[in-house]
Amino acid sequence: MPRIALLGCGNIASIIAAHATDGVEITACYDVDGTRCRDYARRTGATACADLDGLLAADHALLVEAASPEAVRECLTGALEHGRDVVVLSVGALSDPGFLDETRALASRLGRTIHVPSGAVFGLDNIKVARISGLDRLLLRTTKAPRSLGMDDATGRQCIFRGKAGEAVRRFPKNINVSAALGLAAGREPDVELWVDPAATANRHEIIAAGEFGEVTIRTDNRPSPDNPATSYLAALSVLTLLRDLDDPVRVGT
């Protein structure tokens, strides 16, 4: 596994550090919160960088972004130009077609790779397969507790958003990254419903797809991360799986 640098030293970065297996070496880190960055460096043995330029210049082969869509827009081009492959967790940044096309072209020209983990859902491999014959319907229905959405309370289950993934990401940038990942896998913008439910004990993502292949419904119930209810534990684990598989000559799945 490669030597990695972390952009963002919050909940996901902590899970990555806690579950990293032999061969994963976190060499550098940066966070806009300097105290959090220095604390993470002490816990992991990484070098705490004072700014993004320092992080990009540090000794690593792979940059793992675990910060925000704004951080992706700030770092992605520079990381690619520094010869780094990049893991993007805040995939909502890639819902901007112009930004996606520019960074895809740059990565292709430089021979670099932008990795998007499966994140908080199962089934993205299957959606990639289904898109070959065409998708007639693609819906993501997400249900979260009020606290996961930054709400104090809600009266009963209610839909707070219906629309396309791009608008969902703009309105809920910390809560609906799944829709952007689904769109990348499907090659089209999915429809999105976001529901709040005070009785919800997990973050539920339902993917409903139909096309020439048939029909499928994929439901994932994620436990929120203990320290950040807006983050699904599975999303952090998907990064560890991606890192583990980079050097494996036998690839399972699409």
- Residues pairing with 206 in the sheet: 141, 219
Mapping DSSP to helix (H, G, I), strand (E, B) and coil, where does residue 49 land? coil
Paired strand residues for 158: 196
Q: Are 60 and 28 in contact (CB under 8 A)?
A: yes
Strand ranges (E), the chain: 3-7, 25-30, 47-48, 62-65, 85-88, 114-115, 135-144, 158-164, 191-196, 203-211, 214-222, 224-225, 228-232
- 19, 60, 82, 205: the active-site residue: 205
Number of neighbouring beta carbons within 10 Å of residue 201: 10
- Sorted by sequence, the CB contacts under 8 Å of residue 118 that are 6+ apart come out as 124, 125, 181, 238, 241
- CA distances in angstroms from 195 to 121, 122, 140, 206, 207, listed in the order given: 16, 19, 11, 11, 14
Q: What is the DSSP letter of 91?
A: G
CB contact at 8 A, 231 and 149: no
| Whether 19 is catalytic | no
Q: How far apart are CA 235 and CA 116, in angstroms?
A: 11
With CA atoms as reference, report the closest residue to 164 among 97, 88, 89: 97
**Contact criterion met (CB below 8 Å) for 172 and 235:** no
Q: Hey, which residues are catalytic here?
A: 205
